[in-house]
Amino acid sequence: MHSMRLRWNVEAFERISVRRASARALGRDSIFSLSDGISIRLVLPFFFLARRRKGRPQKYSSFFLSFFLSFFRRIVDVFYSQNDSVFFFFFVSFLSQQQNMTKPGKGILAMDESNATCGSRLEGVGVENTEENRRRYRELLITTPDLGKHIGGAILFEETLYQSTKDGKAFVDCLNEQGIYPGIKVDKGLRPLANSNGESWCQGLDGLADRAAEYYKQGARFCKWRSVVSIPSGPSKIAVTDCAYGLARYAAICQNAGLVPIVEPEILLDGEHTLEETYEVASAVWAETFKYLADNNVMFDRMLLKPSMVGPGADCPKRNTPEEVAEATLKMLNSRVPPATAGIMFLSGGLSELDSTLYLNAMNQQPNPWHVSFSYARALQNSVIKTWAGDDAMVGKAQAILSRRAEENGLAQLGKFNPDESLANTDSTFQKNYVY
Ligand code: 13P
């Protein structure tokens, strides 16, 4: 039985405004589906009217139509930022073609490290953790030439969503120009879980609806919430339930705000557990997560998942091949994730650059029900930050490395990565007790 409020939420979600944001981020060129007959009927007359005007060559009619549509889209964007009930206007805006995150050969650049985490990375290469240095580093990432070829979305930390290049161009505009959707980390980090064996819970639900609306206005079109599950510390029932419930509430709230949620229950690499143990825990966590996602009326086809790959813990003496990791990961996902889910965008979790690409490539040797791709932070950025190390003269070289990392993972998304031609680093990026 749904409460009135929940029913209202579902109806609100179904509003075209949300479809537009979701369709864009999920890789569709328009929101039209069979059930959208009414909207198509409303748009088509405009189209034919414009084309049939007597005495005017067809090319001019098309020109006027596209001019009219782009003008209308501008109005829609302005209206939407103030009033999300301008239902009719959205029909026209859907016609615009968009680049997106789940097109073949594309993935996500995670660059949403908190100020503290970004700071420790900077300090690790001898750069002081100041706002300006974080901005300089993120400008390097965002302005990488041709980044949009293999990157469809970039997850930003709140600070970055509002920052600009040194020449004053908003980061959001730089991303949009490359066809990259700006995303935003919306959780407020991990806290110790009382009465557990050193486990944690993820905070950030308070005020989330208001923050999500603000982020949308600022240009964000998708979002991320990262909860973690520790195998050596449990996982306890209460930790898994809290992780799953928090993710579901977050996803429901953000879908209502027009943001496509990335659902990320990270199974930490820390520990000596085997691949088989990871499999058991991951299956339990995803079963619980989908139960709460369904209970909260989250639309599966308008969200993305960000799982860890199913492999051995960092200190497990037995190592597995990429094929074994891929097989276990896909078996787990196939038994837990509905095919309606649009995309599986893996985290790298401390794997080396090369391993994260090899594992992804192995998973794409067969057709999958979902787009199986990457949303890496460390596995995309590790060599980049070390090469830059705060030196402006090294920006071009560092950007070339990022571009190459994105390209190789784009190939792995297609199952066409060739390790013999790879420049990926084989060093592990794992750090014990890593926080984001
Ligand atoms: P890593 O790829 O470094 O695990 O980070 C991805 C991420 O976004 C974690 O939340």
User: Could you list the active site residues?
Assistant: 264, 306
Looking at residue 409, its pLDDT comes to 98
Evaluate if residue 279 carries a pLDDT over 90.
yes
Evaluate if residue 16 carries a pLDDT over 70.
no
The answer on 117 and 64 residing in a single domain is no
In our burial notation (b when 16+ CB lie closer than 10 A, e otherwise), range 207-217 reads ebeebbbebbe
For residue 112, which atom of ligand 1 is closest to its CA? 8
Looking at residue 220, its pLDDT comes to 95
Question: Based on the structure, what is the number of domains in the chain?
Answer: 2
**Are the CB atoms for 103 and 152 separated by under 8 Å?**
yes
Percent of the chain past pLDDT 70, that is, above it, reads 75
For ligand 1, say whether the CB of 417 is within 6 Å of any of its atoms. Answer: no
For ligand 1, say whether the CB of 348 is within 6 Å of any of its atoms. Answer: yes
The answer on 141 and 30 residing in a single domain is no
Alpha carbons within 13 A on the beta-carbon side of 226: 25
Evaluate if residue 33 carries a pLDDT over 50.
no
pLDDT tens string 352-387: 999 999 999 999 999 999 999 999 999 999 999 999
For ligand 1, say whether the CB of 226 is within 6 Å of any of its atoms. Answer: yes
The answer on 289 and 231 residing in a single domain is yes
Domain at 382, CATH number: 3.20.20.70
pTM confidence score? 0.80
The answer on 117 and 73 residing in a single domain is no
**Are the CB atoms for 273 and 312 separated by under 8 Å?**
yes
Q: For residues 89 and 165, which has the higher predicted lDDT (pLDDT)?
A: 165
For ligand 1, say whether the CB of 186 is within 6 Å of any of its atoms. Answer: no
Residue with the smallest CA separation from ligand 1 atom 5 is 377
The answer on 111 and 68 residing in a single domain is no
Looking at residue 42, its pLDDT comes to 57
The answer on 259 and 309 residing in a single domain is yes
Q: Which amino acid is at 26?
A: L
| 302 dihedral zone (left: phi>0; alpha: psi -120 to 50; beta) | alpha
The answer on 151 and 68 residing in a single domain is no
Tell me which residue of 136, 217, 169, 150 sits closest to 384, measured CA to CA. 136
CA of 150 to the centre of ligand 1 (A): 18
CA of 369 to the centre of ligand 1 (A): 23
The answer on 280 and 209 residing in a single domain is yes
Residue with the smallest CA separation from ligand 1 atom 4 is 349
CA of 94 to the centre of ligand 1 (A): 32
Looking at residue 425, its pLDDT comes to 75
Note whether residue 89 is domain-resident: no
Domain ranges, residue 308: 107-421
* Whole-number Å distance between alpha carbons of 285 and 99: 32
For ligand 1, say whether the CB of 13 is within 6 Å of any of its atoms. Answer: no
* Whole-number Å distance between alpha carbons of 78 and 80: 5
Rounded to the nearest integer, the mean pLDDT of the chain is 84
